[in-house]
Amino acid sequence: MVAMASIVALAVSGCTRGGGGEEGDGEGAAASPGITDTSLTFGITTPLTGPTAGPGNCTADGALAYFGVKNAEGGIEFGDGKTRTIEIKTYDDQYDPQKALANFQQMVAEDVFAAGIGLGTPTNRAWREAAIDEEFPQVLAMTGDPLFSDREESPWQLGLVATYPQEGNAFGTLLAESGEDHKVAILSQNDDYGDGYVEGFKEAVADADNIEIVGELTYEATDTSVDAQLTELAATGADVFFNAMSITPLVISSLQKAQQLGWTPSWFLPSNTSSPVAILEPGGGAAFPGIYTVAFSEAAGSPAFQESEEGQAFMAALGEYTNQDGVPGFPHCVWSWIGAATLEQAFKNMEEPTRESFMEALLNISDFDAPFMLPGAAIDTTVDGIPAVSQVVVQKYNGKGYETAESFG
Amino acid sequence: MGTFIQLVVDGLSQGSIYAALALAIVLVNQATGLINFAQGGLAVLSAYIAYVFVQLGLPTILAILIAVVISFAIGAVVERFLIRRFERGDPDTAVVVTIGLLTLVTGIAALFWGYNNRQFPSLFPLGTVDLFGAVVSIRSIGTTLTILAIMIVLQLLFLRTKLGLALRAVADNPSSAAFSGLPVGRLLMIGWGLAAGLGAIAGSLVAPKLTLTPGMMDIALVYALAAVILGGLSSPVGAVAAAWAIGILENLAAVYVPLIGHDLKIAVPFILIFVILIVRPQGLFGRKVVVRV
Amino acid sequence: MNRMSTLLRNRWVQIGLIAVVAIVLIVAPLMLPVFANQTLIRIGVYAVAVLGLNIVMGYAGQVNLGQIFFLGLGAYVAAYGVTHDWNILLVFVAACVIPGVVGLLIALAASRLGGLAIAMITIALPIVGVPLAKRLSDLTGGSQGVSARFSGAPEWSGLFDDQWQYYIVLVVTVGAFVLGRNLVRGKFGRGFKIVRENEAVAASMGVSPYRYKVLAFTIASILGGASGFLYLAAVQYTSPETLSFGHSIALLAAMVIGGAGSIAGSLIGGIYYVFVPQVTNAIDPTLTAISQGVILLAVLFLLPGGLVSLPRVIRRLTRRRTSRPTQGGSPQTTPAQPPPAAVAQEGPENTERQSRS
């Protein structure tokens, strides 16, 4: 009885089999689902509630703000000459892979043209193969998992942010090139995030005789304290601390704890937890001889950003089209904005209203001067194995913001 | 040796975070016989309320006191208009109601304050002191002492005051408490209110370290539950002692037992509970409950 | 009302009804849109998990906060089997047996202790399970998870993938529910009930509480494993996130919302678990925490016995209204026992927990 009732309920809300994207062999001319002459629907499934909701909301909000502005201006002129507005549909997956897949299935049923920009490795992985089966673009995923940028394995995918090994490698290279002897202590998050950073770093210093790794520990993303790890690592006497940590409060308390222990090495912090205002100031980052990070975009909290015309437009758009209140605490808002700009670039170049044409356009972006990119960093979607952000730069904290670091020390 | 002492001290200050929440759980359980999953969520909401008053320019201590008073009212209202309906029914349903409450409260905090980490000022300065060769932050000493003080007050409340006796009587057997003329309804409200007020202190104590987010207490809640069961549901002293033991043993096991390591240290308190419950099923400090046939 | 229930008790009418339901269940995926099938598939996955939880908690009264661990374990076992090219039946059996054995071992130790110990140990399962799954990355694929695709429709069937998956899930789910129903209606069900209500009485009646608790926990673990197999059939991917503690709590909520101590309630619980996130996403994706909290509290506030008690509550309300002229105000003071006919009709499906106070 119950089953029958639910079936009836479902039948009312669902769509019919023929209407989906199943018959994709219309040879180019027929438009894919989710795109009309005046609009295009783009889906984002990302954690909007739950423990990862902070970066998760930012991940959706940057794109919402960007296209909010573009739509208010009348829309975007596509490569086929038609002007379309971009409707962003957001879905909450609460960082649950199963819900992410369900959201993808719902997007297919609701005729979403393409999806992406969502945060998370397991959540994106959960619908990667389903998207390939459906020939559905899953693009600019907010994860440093290299799988999404492997063109062979993931023909309908592309990552947005630099892969974790890319970032770790950039810092390792800088350190190895310094020529001085350094003892390195490593603390990393016990998942693909931390592992990726450490892998990239070790690869870069593998042949350098001047670098010695004296301690290597992990922590869980759910931990509320890493004091024990810091106590243990401080005892190694390392002069460089490679801290691949993605949890904001833990980074702050590690900075404080290290000072309390009287351990003041040079630090490395990943791009998503190196915010000067939200992390280094409360953590007392100025006490350390140098704090290095890897970045490709400007930080929304920096004075230069806030004073620039582009930055003010960004803040105004966030204020108007999202629930963000003041300067966002996570860099993902800016990244999502960059992702949206990259999407726009692809829309401008796609010549047919089809998913195939969209992917072709998206995978052919080079020399694109995206907003908020640092000098030296770049968007280039044409390199196999590398996500949209192809180049990153190492930066050093100067007490207020970051400056690009040419060399270590 | 220095590292060992440092690890013990670190574990103690970590354990104090669990202890703060554990005390509130013990209080609700003593007063209403219920395990409240929403205790952490309510504590976070209280910390946000304190945060609002700090933003308005009030001194931190005053802001926390106001939050305690408001939280007391919130706790009492939640008991009267939500929990009351489930108190005499199936205990599983009541637990699930507190789970729903946790979801709702977390959502409300997120609605008003978003998911960005917010800096909450500490009552205690950031400095450190040397203690037996270990570095101890004044903050964690302050937190630990506050927890100790609350624990003593609670222990006295339950064992030495009429209110405490009445609260326990109501939790134990509401109908016979009513027959002996106790205002059962009001006592239940007071129990929840006190626990929520205590939660406000707990939330404000840990917020400077964890930074204020809607899910700040989610993990601490699991540890607090472990501490409460380990220490015996009925004993504030037991809950605090258990929370400290968990914090310290977890740290030591992570560093000195390579097989466990930092990733599996969370298993330590549970293994400990298992062993202890086999020896003492009522917990370390709990009283044995006799079930009538 | 009475005529209706006598009609329902007629054997032929019952068989006819079952046949109709069976035909609907078999034909439905061929007619329904893809997304409806996919939703039904997920409902099946979680209905089986909730059924297991209901047997150990709703029927046997043992608090279990770790059911998701067995789902996750089943999914990992299935993923391992699939990636190593085992026969699919072997994969299914392994996905049930291995969680079952683990559950049995845990229950053998935990059931000696009081209810709190079981609660604590079951909390520990998902909490320790997540880092453990990451540690054993050779078997589990670590934090990136493992994808295992075995549920694509074979060529000869002429079905779409979602239809094929639906039939896999349907077979296992129906099997699990038929077994579960027979179990709780038989000797074991009576044993669970006595153990739940009073262990001392159970012991005096020659029913070993220990043995029944272990049995209930083991069955729940096996069903958890089976639902893990279904999870892999539906999602084709699993990762440590799958067995996070939060999902375990959500399963518990789904069980109570559906109806503790009710087989039909387990199915409703599965529907709730899958539907509510979709509904709240449609309301406002940034406010799902609030709307899910409100829905849960509202349902339990109106129906403390879970959604399965809705027909009974409606019947009671309508009866009260119709009977008022003849019987005066008496039904208002005592929520009357349902008349024998209604009891017979609902049988043991009636949430027995309501009659306990």
Sort out which chain C residues have CB atoms less than 8 A from B220's CB and list them. none
Query: Using the beta-carbon criterion (under 8 Å), do A56 and B115 form an inter-chain contact?
Result: yes
Confidence category of residue B169, pLDDT binned at 50, 70, 90: confident
The alpha carbon of residue C215 is apart from the nearest alpha carbon of chain A, in Å, by 29
Query: Using the beta-carbon criterion (under 8 Å), do A11 and C36 form an inter-chain contact?
Result: yes
**In this structure, how many other beta carbons lie within 10 angstroms of the beta carbon of residue B163?**
15
Sort out which chain C residues have CB atoms less than 8 A from B213's CB and list them. none
- Across-strand partners of A187? A217, A243
pLDDT at B1: 59
DSSP state of C154: P
pLDDT, mean of each 10-residue run, chain A (409 residues): 48 45 48 93 95 91 96 94 95 94 95 95 94 95 92 94 92 91 94 93 92 93 88 92 92 91 93 86 89 91 88 95 88 95 95 95 91 90 91 89 84
Chain B to chain C, count of Cβ pairs less than 8 Å apart? 131
- pLDDT tens-digit map of A361-393: 999 998 888 999 998 888 999 999 999 998 899
Q: State which amino acid sits at residue C245.
A: F
A138: alpha, beta or left, given left = phi > 0 and alpha = psi -120 to 50? beta
Tokens of A28: 């180019």
Query: Using the beta-carbon criterion (under 8 Å), do C286 and A130 form an inter-chain contact?
Result: no
What are the residues of chain B with a beta carbon less than 8 Å away from any beta carbon of chain A? 2-3, 6-7, 10-11, 13-14, 17, 106-107, 110, 114-117, 119, 126, 128, 135, 137, 209-211, 213-215, 218-220, 251, 254-255, 261-263, 266
- pLDDT tens-digit map of B105-144: 999 999 999 888 888 998 888 788 887 778 888 888 898 9
Query: Using the beta-carbon criterion (under 8 Å), do C116 and B274 form an inter-chain contact?
Result: no
Q: Closest-CA residue in chain C for B226?
A: C120
Give the residue with greater pLDDT, B158 vs A109. A109
DSSP state of B212: B
Handedness of CA C347, C351, C356, C357 (dihedral sign): negative
Strands A157-159 and A182-189: unpaired
- Across-strand partners of C238? C146
Compare CB distances from C256 to B96, B102, B273 and report the shortest one's residue: B96
Torsion of CA B281, B282, B285, B286, to 10 degrees: 180
C117/B contact by beta carbon, under 8 A: yes
- HEC string of chain A equals CHHHHHHHHHHHHCCCHHHCCCCCCCCCCCCCCCECCCEEEEEEEECCCCCCHHHHHHHHHHHHHHHHHHHHCCCEECCCCCEEEEEEEEEECCCCHHHHHHHHHHHHHCCCCEEECCECHHHHHHCHHHHHHHCCCEEEEECCCHHHHCCCCCCCEEECCCCHHHHHHHHHHHHHHCCCCEEEEEEEECCHHHHHHHHHHHHHHCCCCCEEEEEEEEECCCCCCCHHHHHHHHCCCCCEEEEECCCHHHHHHHHHHHHHCCCCCEEEECHHHCCHHHHHHHHCHHHCCCEEEEECECCCCCHHHHHCHHHHHHHHHHHHHCCCCCCCCCCHHHHHHHHHHHHHHHHHHCCCCCHHHHHHHHCCCCCECCCCECCCCEECCCCCCCCCEEECEEEEECCCCEEECCCCC
pTM, two decimals, is 0.89
pLDDT at C348: 40
Query: Using the beta-carbon criterion (under 8 Å), do A90 and C285 form an inter-chain contact?
Result: yes
A27: alpha, beta or left, given left = phi > 0 and alpha = psi -120 to 50? left
Give the residue with greater pLDDT, B274 vs C188. C188
* C-alpha to C-alpha distance for A159 and A138, rounded to whole angstroms: 9
For chain B, how far is it from start to end, CA to CA, in angstroms? 54
pLDDT at A21: 41
Sort out which chain B residues have CB atoms less than 8 A from A217's CB and list them. 262
Chain A to chain C, count of Cβ pairs less than 8 Å apart? 146
* C-alpha to C-alpha distance for B35 and B83, rounded to whole angstroms: 12
Helix (H) or strand (E) holding B136, with range, is strand B134-137
Query: Using the beta-carbon criterion (under 8 Å), do B210 and A249 form an inter-chain contact?
Result: yes
pLDDT at B289: 55
A interface mutation test: which of B115, B136, B255 has the most A CBs within 10 A?
A: B115
Give the residue with greater pLDDT, C334 vs B153. B153
* C-alpha to C-alpha distance for C316 and C331, rounded to whole angstroms: 10
The three-class DSSP label of residue C80 is helix
* C-alpha to C-alpha distance for C180 and C219, rounded to whole angstroms: 9
Q: Closest-CA residue in chain B for A252?
A: B209
**In this structure, how many other beta carbons lie within 10 angstroms of the beta carbon of residue C139?**
13
pLDDT at C219: 96
Q: Are A374 and A298 contacting, i.e. CB atoms less than 8 angstroms apart?
A: yes
Strands A291-295 and B134-137: unpaired
Query: Using the beta-carbon criterion (under 8 Å), do A222 and B219 form an inter-chain contact?
Result: yes
Q: What are the Cα distances from residue A176, in Å, to A187, A199, A213, A390, C285? A: 19, 15, 12, 21, 46
Under-70 pLDDT residues of chain C = 1-5, 114-116, 321-357
Q: What is the predicted ipTM?
A: 0.88
* C-alpha to C-alpha distance for C222 and C170, rounded to whole angstroms: 17
C-alpha closest to that of C51 among C269, C273, C306: C269
Q: What angle, rounded to 10 degrees, do the helices at B218-231 and B2-32 form? A: 80
Sort out which chain B residues have CB atoms less than 8 A from C63's CB and list them. 92
A49/B contact by beta carbon, under 8 A: yes
CA A245 to chain CA centroid, nearest Å: 15
